[in-house]
Amino acid sequence: MNKRTTSLISILLLVLLVGAFLAACGTSQTPAASTGGQPATTTLDGQALLQERCTVCHNLDRVTSAHKTTDQWTATVEKMVGNGAQLNAQEKQTLVDYLAQTYP
């Protein structure tokens, strides 16, 4: 292989690794893009949403050790959505309700 081919392969691998990392952190825009900017509607309950969406980037200890009011949980969930968490409006409310009841 010549130097140019090796460089192109290295760049391709880097692009693939960055894409995989972004997908693992929940920052991929694929789910939102298919529904006009919102993730697909689901019927997940609050606990399932917490485990499926929040543990993509951090462990549950971070949540279970926190005790917040409904307004504080709302602000936290909004912040996480701003950081790339994939939740539509219904899922956000379901998650906030669950967190406020379970970790007041």
pLDDT in tens, 39-82: 555 578 999 999 999 999 989 998 999 999 999 999 999 999 99
Structure letter (DSSP) for residue 25? T
Residue 59's CATH number: 1.10.760.10
Of 14-23, 42-51, 69-78, 95-104, where does mean pLDDT reach its minimum? 14-23
Tell me if 87 sits within 8 A of 96, measured CB to CB.
Answer: no
Q: Which of 90, 75, 84, 92 is nearest to 32 (CA)?
A: 84
Tell me if 28 sits within 8 A of 22, measured CB to CB.
Answer: yes
Boundaries of domain holding 8? 3-102
Which distant-in-sequence residues (6+ apart) come within 8 Å of 52 by Cβ?
A: 44
pTM of the model: 0.61
**Overall number of domains in the chain:** 1
